[in-house]
A and B are shown apart, each in its own frame.
Chain A
Amino acid sequence: MALRELKVCLLGDTGVGKSSIVWRFVEDSFDPNINPTIGASFMTKTVQYQNELHKFLIWDTAGQERFRALAPMYYRGSAAAIIVYDITKEESFQTLKNWVKELRQHGPPNIVVAIAGNKCDLSDAREVSEKDAKDYADSIHAIFVEASAKNAININEVFIAISQRIPVVDCGGGAAGKGFKLRRQPSETRRTCC
């Protein structure tokens, strides 16, 4: 089975749950007292997608401002970016918009963007309405989910959606193509990650 490496980076404000999402996806566990990420944390997970193996090379970046300037190092060469906000913090949604802008300006041209509103288990404290977020995501052709790392809601789904949107290997454009036919890929077409 062909193996593709997909570099994915997570961006977003500090404390929105980027690491928790990754932790849930990779280890299927959740730690409510997780420490803030320092720099960036690199993890991998391989999942089967149709008749391919997708190895996600995940860069979980720190949301703290002091690491802000490092972000390009991580999103450069990424096939996809998951930008996370916290549905209970309006401010984190504003930060998300800045990230989108930054990716548009400096990110790879065909990067698949996914927007994840984390902590949807806390809908009592919601500050960002699902519809607004969805509308915004649609306007930029991004994948959109509301997720909960804590309750394992829509975590795997984001990654699956990314797998779906990733263009067929060695194609130039058409990033948003959905449901394309997958061919068996010769192994030398592995994407390098940087």
Chain B
Amino acid sequence: MEEEHQDREQPEIVRCSEPQSHCSPDDTDSLKAAATITLDNTSPAEQGCGTEDPPPCKLDALQEISSTNGPSEPEPEPEPEPEPQPQPQPQGPGGEGPLEASSDQGKVGAGEENGPSEPEGPAVEDDQPENASDSASTDNTLEDSSEFVVTVLARGSLEDQGEGPSSELSEASSPAQAPAPSHRDEDVTAESWRRHRKHVFVLSEAGKPIYSRYGNEEALSSTMGVMMALVSFVQSGDNTIRSIYSGEHGTDEHTVVFMQQGPLVLVSVSCSRQSEQQLRSELLYVYNQIVSMLTQASINRIFERKKNYDLRRLLAGSEKILDGLLNLVDSDPSFLLSAVHCLPLASSLRDSLSQILQKAITPNLVFSILIAKNQLLTIVQEKTVIEDARLEPADLHLLLNLIGASSAFQAGEIWTPICLPLFNPDCYFYAYISYLDPPDCTVCLLLLSTDKEAFYAVADCKRKIDEGMRTQNALRAIAKAQSYSASQVGVSDLRHFMYKPFDVPDNHRQLTQFTSPEMEAPYSSEEERTRLLDLYRYMHSRIHSNSRPLKLIYHVAERETLLAWVTSKFELYTCFSPLVTKASAINAITKLLRWIKKEEDRLFIRNPPKYSTTPNPSKSSRGGKGGPDRQDTTDNGFLSLL
């Protein structure tokens, strides 16, 4: 077990990579001077770095395009049509720190499996010919865009004026805290726009804007054009741009992460100091949320047919879902841990809820999910499906976000196609969504079927569930359920923790979960919460560093002490008051683990129940609906899915 002690905050992360790319201020007349685009081979050869911190990007320097440092200068060969020209920083020399970009050979970043297996006719039509309205409105001229890239890449240098060279994690979080109500209307030339902590852009390969977290995409079309230019510039050298690091160390670091997924390009511009890996996984969530609405197959098909298609037509009205996702990603550690948070519930109550769900089934029903307060209560799944594929936490996160992001579900019963990208990126499920406690709308039922026409049958299941809940008075019991406080653990210095077990009892196909108490004082303000989450993210990035993964980190921060520990059985992040000693922290963790063990039936869904809607019901199924309508199940839905 590797252990390390670190007294300082994390500035080394960046420091390590810095010396490699210091460019002198007067080099700023072109990208060549300002940026080091490093192409690395992903193989994270262990860095011989003096510090304990891995550099943010590994400079395997296979090739360097126009760099100030690094030996080899192989032909920056094709100067492709959209020459980026990202301009000297107008702020004058010296203001801008080094920019480094790493990319890698081949499409590693974009590859990420997701091979477009050929479509299973998704229901959404992609290209409606009658809609000639597909505007040429956003013609992305690359020419006038240079100023924007400066905006984006160098926006740090403007920002840093306010901030001292403090290297505290928390600093990064402060500027862009309060989310303005109407991001769409933001003035993208305004200083406040630049100050957002994390921007996310989605564009098509043709450079057409698809989504921007802040501001109107239309207004950003030239910015996005430049982004695309960067991507294709590097691409033309048979390479893939992965990231750009900018900013003076300790003051205003920005990380720009690029990810290509099929015909879409996603870009994150962040000063949150998250690792590239983390930002990349967030972009993947964004991509998957888009896929969940359209399916990968249809996105690919659309762009095969028409390269400059304006995908916003199909996403119109769904911006809120993406906005919601990004807010959730920033505030909910589920995404960081890739695990599902379930609401603590007496196991007897959870079991009886599961039974209620299990009894209300119909052919082609695949998942029955009960959600309260945006956390999972229970999930029941079709047996045959779950034997062959599992519901990934990420898919569930997307569903939870969908439900949380729109109040549209609070009226009536919703029937909508939805794709679970990790389950199958090319097919739709049909989701029945309805709240069980109408005026309050806290307990939500989600039933996923593979049969488009099954609404009435599925709605019937809901009535049975309603009835079951009523007879057991379950809603009232659910209403009482709540998260717990760290103080309940009974360890004095423990403020907060996140525990994700790997040792699932049933089988490895179980849903990955984690448990975590409420964030309480001193983390009751949103600002403090973000600060704690940032610390966790930092610990997480160290633990999961590509080049130098760690098993245990004891980290003394300014206002708290953290200990992160990963074993073959669990991953644990704990936060203690600052004065705790190492010995007592270890001791506390032992107690914590014991407490979790004792409480695990309440904290986790231990044995997710299954049902069978197929003709030969096995022991675990006790279909409320015997008889004829069980027959025709196998042919229809999931065979095509599996």
Using a CB–CB cutoff of 8 Å, the interface residues on chain A facing chain B are: 14, 19, 22-23, 26-27, 34-43, 60, 62, 64-70, 73, 98, 193-194
Interface pair A69/B317, CB less than 8 Å apart: no
> Within 8 Å of chain A (Cβ to Cβ): is B318?
yes
Mask: chain B, 387-427; 1 = CB below 8 Å from A; 0 = not? 00000000000000010001111011111110000000000
Is B471 in contact with chain A by the CB < 8 A criterion? no
B450 to chain A, nearest CB (A): 15
**Do A38 and B409 touch (CB < 8 A)?**
yes
Provide a sorted-by-A list of 27 A–B residue pairs whose CB atoms are within 8 angstroms: A19-B411, A26-B412, A34-B408, A35-B407, A36-B318, A36-B406, A36-B408, A37-B414, A38-B402, A38-B406, A38-B409, A39-B431, A41-B412, A42-B455, A62-B317, A64-B314, A64-B316, A64-B317, A64-B318, A65-B131, A66-B318, A67-B417, A68-B128, A70-B123, A70-B417, A73-B452, A73-B453
Partner of B456, one of A35, A64, A193: A193
User: Are the C-beta atoms of B315 and A43 separated by less than 8 Å?
Assistant: no
Residue of B nearest to A31 (CB): B407
A-B contacts at CB below 8 angstroms, number: 88
Residue numbers in B under 8 Å from A19 (CB-CB): 408, 411
CB distance from A37 to the nearest CB of B (A): 5
Q: Using CB atoms, name the residue of chain B closest to A194.
A: B456
Assess whether B411 is in contact with A23, with CB atoms less than 8 Å apart.
Answer: yes
Interchain nearest-CB distance for B415 vs A (Å): 5
Indicate whether B605 reaches chain A with its CB closer than 8 angstroms.
Answer: no
Q: Which residue of B lies closest to A14 (CB)?
A: B317
Query: Chain A's interface: helix, strand, loop or mixed, by majority?
Result: mixed
Q: Please give me the residue from chain A that is nearest to B314 by CB atom.
A: A66
Q: B124 near A67 (CB under 8 angstroms)?
A: yes
Given the known interface contacts A39-B417, A41-B414, A73-B452, the answer about A66 and B293 at a Cβ–Cβ threshold of 8 Å is: yes
> Which single residue of chain B is at the shortest CB-CB distance from A64?
B317
B interface, over-half SS? mixed
Residues in A whose Cβ lies below 8 Å from that of B455:
42, 194
The listed residue (B124, B318, B456) touching A69 by CB distance below 8 A is B124
Quote the shortest CB–CB distance from A26 to chain B (angstroms): 8
Given contacts A26-B412, A27-B411, A35-B406, 8 further A-B pairs with CB under 8 A are A19-B411, A23-B411, A38-B416, A42-B455, A64-B318, A67-B416, A68-B124, A98-B130
Q: In the complex, A27→B411 CA distance in Å?
A: 10
Is B306 part of the binding interface, using a Cβ–Cβ cutoff of 8 Å?
Answer: no
Q: Which 3 A-B pairs have the closest CB atoms?
A: A39-B416, A36-B317, A43-B412
Residues of chain B contacted by A14 (CB below 8 angstroms): 316-317
Contact call A35/B408, Cβ cutoff below 8 A: yes
Q: Does B3 contact A (CB under 8 A)?
A: no
B635 located at the interface, meaning its Cβ lies under 8 Å from any Cβ of chain A in the complex: no
Residue of B316, B408, B452 near A38 (CB, 8 A) is: B408
- In the docked arrangement, what's the CA distance between A193 and B318, Å? 30
Q: Do A65 and B408 contact each other (CB < 8 Å), given the known contacts A40-B416, A73-B453?
A: no
Q: Which residues of A contact B412 (CB under 8 A)?
A: 22, 26, 41-43, 60
Give CA–CA (A73, B125) in the complex, Å.
14
Q: How far is the CB of B123 from chain A (nearest CB, A)?
A: 5
